[in-house]
Structure 1
Amino acid sequence: MSEFLEILTHGRRFKAAVKDLSVDELRDLAAKLDKIIVERESMEQEEQLAMAARNAKIEEIRQQMEAVGLSIDDLGGVAVKAVSKKRAPRPAKYQIEVAGELIQWTGQGRMPTVFKNALNNGRTMEDFLI
């Protein structure tokens, strides 16, 4: 909790913090706090009304399902999202042999250094096609 909130919620610390304020300033502060309280209460009341409307709609749908003979379990198979299949890795399009090691590349993404070096030495990508 911040220091401000600690002072605000502790009786003696709050009294010490506002001791230099005049009565008019204290009344102004109290009016601002009352306004905040009223706003917060109205927000909570709106949330409660929205939740009540939501719960009523859920109950209405539940009763409709019951009348038709459906249960939540019946919806489980329909509501489950299909599992996406992972794509197979791309086949290698280019390969080069360096020091007895075979290095392959799909042609996508950053070009491996061994291919760059070979291109700089005058070879072409067609030389590396599989």
Structure 2
Amino acid sequence: MISESKFQMWRGTIALAQVDNHVSKEEKLWLDQHLKKIPFTKEQREILQNDFEKGIKLDDIFLNSLEPRERGMLVSFANTIFKRDGLAPEEEIVLSQLTGQIMGDLKVEELTSEVERMEEESHEEENIFKRLVTIITSLI
């Protein structure tokens, strides 16, 4: 089972795919690949299926109730989904509005610092891995 915030984020993601009133094969494939990995409850899966079949608008999702992480992911998903089949004019408008609405009250500096810190840690781990490979290779 996932949190309500994550569930609403995925409902929002389905709404994003429907913004231009056409869900392309690429968008459907992307959604299917991601949704099948999530441990939704039976009820949540039924709601998502209904959202996909009958349609859902982004306005139906309580974006302000999403945790900051899920809000950021929704913006990222919007970029990914919209660019799958080319950015339609209505998608561009929604992306701009969504970014402003979602990112408006987020502490961007804190998030940026956290991302930079995570990136530095990643590079450190990568360097350690490279050094280990070099050492092991030299022993062979």
Q: Which has the higher strand share?
A: 1
Same fold per TM (> 0.5)? no
TM-score when normalising by structure 1: 0.32
**RCO higher in structure (CA 8 A, sep ≥6):** 2
**Could you state the TM-score of these two structures normalised by the residue count of structure 2?**
0.30
